[in-house]
Amino acid sequence: MLTQQVRQGDVLIVRAEIPAGTRRRRGWTIAEGEATGHAHVLEAAPVEGATAELRALGERLFARILGGDARVMHPEHGPVVLPPGDYEIVRQREYVPPPIDSPTRRPTTRRVRD
């Protein structure tokens, strides 16, 4: 059972309120695997009474699960079970230092490539 947050590879799923102004997003892929081609996919079984929707606000992604448990599936990780509720999906980021020969460039971050 999910308490507050759970991680599946480079994806962090956190219980959160979905802010106003989000828009429904089509499809069930919550994160594409740039390196492997494998995707993290949200699955809800209507036969078990579960429904799910993905919502987006800019770069932020949210999931709303109703009526039963949903699962986040990925071929390289075990399934993550999400009980009914609202969640924010956060992609892991990594630090990118500036080149040594460029003291004026600032460090940045980028999404982790799964």
Q: Quote the number of domains for the chain.
A: 1
Burial 78-108 (b: 16+ CB within 10 A, else e): eebebebeebbbbbeeeeeeeeeeeeeeeee
Q: 94 vs 53, 61, 87, CA distance in Å?
A: 28, 19, 22
Residue 1 has pLDDT above 50, yes or no: no
Q: Report d(CA 28, CA 30) in Å as an integer.
A: 6
CB 46 within 8 Å of CB 67: no
- pLDDT tens figures, 78-96: 888 999 999 999 887 666 6
- pLDDT tens figures, 31-76: 876 666 788 899 887 767 888 999 999 989 999 999 989 999 988 8
Q: 113 or 51, which is more confident?
A: 51
Residue 108 has pLDDT above 70, yes or no: no
Q: Which of 20-24, 49-53, 107-111 has the lowest mean pLDDT?
A: 107-111
Residue 21 is predicted with a pLDDT of 96
pTM metric for this prediction: 0.76
Contacts of 96 (CB under 8 A, 6+ apart): 107, 108, 109, 110
CB 82 within 8 Å of CB 72: yes
- Determine the average pLDDT of the residues in 12-29: 93
Domain range enclosing 58: 5-111
What's the token pair of residue 92? Answer: 């892991």
- Determine the average pLDDT of the residues in 96-108: 72
* Residue whose tokens read 């709303």: 64
40 burial type by CB count under 10 A (0-12 exposed, 13-18 middle, 19+ buried): buried
